[in-house]
Amino acid sequence: MRDSTVLIAVVAALTLLSLCYSPLATAGTAQFQFGLAHSDSVTSNHHRLASKFAELADKYSDGRIKIMVYPGGQLGNLKTVVEGLQIGTHDLVRTLDVIAALLPESDAFNLPYLFPDRKRFERAIADPVVEKLLDKFKAKGIVIVSWWENGFRHMTNSARPIRRPEDLRGLKMRTPPNPARIEMFRLFGGNPAPLPYEELYSALQQRVFDGQENPLNNIRTSKFHEVQKYLSLTSHVYNPQWLAMSRIKWDGLPEWGRAAIKRAGDEVGQMYRAEGQALDDEDLGFLKRYLEVNEVDFAAFRKASQPLYDKFPDKELLRRLLELAS
């Protein structure tokens, strides 16, 4: 009898515990709850705007959609999360490089020196040719919801100032796990290798890599200035990001749910681009206190980049993007 009583108590406790961790139990009146993964620090602009997206999705769905934001790779590195989107074990992610690797022509947005400013980028992403490109990801199990941003990417290293491509010779540079970015740094003369962003600070600290390339806010909030000496303002890529969702989860939403997520995502994308330049200026002012900052020979870097344009597989898409970016 006593064993039976203990068993009933244990079952009751386990049932209560499972309810505490149930998405719908923690979401109050929410009908849907999703996790949004990103790899950046909780102090980053990216986390602030991801949290804003969650707030807006709640607002535009009248509280029926709750989104939990998981920063700093809490749900796994970006490759793991993107694979999870494809099979439905993950919900939402903020990234571009890992997803773009699934569709070679989408690497157009990784081409160096394509977009000189955010206004021309906005003109490009509104074009039907780009919308058609994004539709192709549905066959990969991913829905591109909205265009967010990472900003203009720059190089840091612990060895010397980088002013021209030849200054990269002999330097081991970390890149995202994206073939176009790796090839770019080979053309520049560096020794590139991919590494998950979540492991980068430690790798720089231990001198596994001499340098890396990231937007200013990432460099600041991930504290790369603590383990690097030089910042070269190369602006070699304007790096957009996608708010992407598992197609399985997207297809499971009613129309009002998709509309709420899309509206919230697009609104945050507009915030990113409206605030981008002011944030760049603020972050650069901060980084100048810790790093030696230098300008670069843009013409030399553009010339070194040309083979990427020559080899780009979708000439029609490239032609259209160059028109929109001009």
Which pLDDT belongs to residue 174? Answer: 98
| Domains of the chain with bracketed CATH | 29-325 (3.40.190.170)
Which pLDDT belongs to residue 28? Answer: 52
Which pLDDT belongs to residue 3? Answer: 43
Compute CA distances 321 → 111, 170, 298, whole Å. 11, 33, 20
For 309, phi and psi rounded to 5 degrees? -70, -40
Contact 152, 215 (CB under 8 A): yes
CA distance 178 to 258: 29
Per-residue pLDDT tens, the chain, 326 aa: give them: 444 443 334 333 333 333 333 333 344 578 999 999 999 999 999 999 999 999 999 999 999 999 999 999 999 999 999 999 999 999 999 999 899 989 989 989 999 999 999 999 999 999 999 999 999 999 999 999 999 999 999 999 999 999 999 999 999 999 998 888 999 999 999 999 999 998 999 999 999 999 999 999 999 999 999 999 999 999 999 999 999 999 999 999 999 999 999 999 999 999 999 999 999 999 999 999 999 999 999 999 999 999 999 999 999 999 999 999 98
List all residues 6 or more positions away from 200 whose beta carbon is below 8 Å from its beta carbon. Answer: 174, 209, 212, 222, 224
DSSP 177-242: S-HHHHHHHHHHT-EEEE--GGGHHHHHHTTS-SEEEEEHHHHHHTTGGGS--EEE-----EEEEE
SS3 state at 95 = strand
Cα angle 22, 27, 31 (rounded to 5 degrees) comes to: 95
Which pLDDT belongs to residue 177? Answer: 85
Q: Beta strand 238-246 with 142-157: parallel, antiparallel or unpaired?
A: antiparallel
Number of alpha carbons in the 13 Å side-chain half-sphere of residue 130? 19
CA distance 163 to 104: 30
Write the pLDDT tens digit of every residue in 275-313: 999 999 999 999 999 999 999 999 999 999 999 999 999
Q: H or E segment at 7?
A: helix 2-20
82 CB-contact burial (10 Å; exposed 0-12 / middle 13-18 / buried 19+): buried
pTM to 2 decimal places: 0.84
